[in-house]
Amino acid sequence: MNAPIFVVGTPRSGTTLTARILGRHSGLFMPGETHFFDDIYARRQELGAPQEARAAAAIATRLSTLYERFNEPNDQQRIQALGGAHALKQLLGTSCRTYGDVLSRFMQFQMHQYPTKVRWGNNVPKDIFYVKDILTFYPEAKFVICVRDIRDFLFSYQYQWKKSSPEHTERIKKLYHPILTSLLWKAAMKQIRVAQALVPLDNLLIMRYEDLARQPEATIHTLCQFLKEPYEEEMLQVEAHNSSFDVQEQGIFSTSIQRWRQHLDPDHIYIAERMARSELHQLGYPPAHVQPNPLKLLYLTASFPYALCWALHANRSIRGPMLPYLKRRIAAFFTSGKKT
């Protein structure tokens, strides 16, 4: 079975680690984050239909720098080594009928340099907001939804800049705000209901970060069974680390779990628990019931609109058009469907 694999969820919830683990499998190709749907597909009205020569050329040009824009230097080097924009223009031509065809060609273009790999996957947390569109192109797609305690998510998000390249450090530092970051987590978790309503049961797996970190071998076995791929011990030998705090650690470790208890500000814990109470309960994360500082809460509430405007401005070069981007995320709060 060669149906594509989509690893989605929220950032800092094990999506990258899961992709790296899958990438160690001899038959699976898992590159860095492509952000194809949020960057190229979201601009389909502007770019045009892929079968039109001018649109195909514009899409190929944008594809040729996709990894560079999203801070994936190793993957960008691979694209350049394979011929960059010129090779992609020849590859796409005018034979792609849909944007799904474009993504498939782009992935296969890279995958073919690895003789044993026959199935590709896409690791982009934000693609959880594109489940319906993905299913239009790939009805048999497999979805791995990574979830994590919102409080550890907030703590990790604060230190995400430590893993970023120098040119992105200051931007990422300023993106964190407990209300904004909690809304990001909550919106993604609400999209699980959409996925459960649309994706066949056999094609969707919800994977807790805590299970992967504490019981990696058992969790990877479950993941392989879900994907109908044979388990390979090499998958455990992942070189990436799963923390943005102890950056010197490598591999899969559990010390990043519940760091929020020692390091996250009580006011941030309070905000997260208040905003995501139902989702925490559904996912099995008990509340801490901390006592916040009223003045700090007032300040954080008052500063939220500024933080939101700053985030939208700072990320303008790495997201799709503003209105569709906001619409997808706001719509998440009005979804209904099966519960997690």
- Prediction pTM value: 0.88
**Sign of the C-alpha dihedral, residues 102, 108, 111, 112?**
negative
Q: Where are the domains of the chain?
A: 5-27+118-334
Report the percent of the chain where pLDDT is more than 90.
Answer: 70
What is the mean pLDDT of the segment spanning 248-276? 87
Distances (CA, A) of 338 to 9, 199, 324, 331: 17, 11, 25, 16
pLDDT, position 79: 97
pLDDT at 199 over 60: yes
Domain 5-27+118-334 fold is Rossmann fold (3.40.50)
Mean pLDDT computed over every residue of the chain: 88
User: Mind listing the pLDDT tens digit for each residue in 105-158?
Assistant: 999 999 999 999 999 999 999 999 999 999 999 999 999 999 999 999 999 887
pLDDT, position 97: 93
- Of 220, 35, 2, 8, the C-alpha closest to 111 is 2
Distances (CA, A) of 31 to 35, 78, 259: 11, 10, 29
Query: What is the band of 11 on the pLDDT scale with cuts at 50, 70, 90?
Result: confident
pLDDT, position 340: 44
- Type of residue at 6: F
User: Mind listing the pLDDT tens digit for each residue in 171-193?
Assistant: 666 778 899 999 999 999 999 99
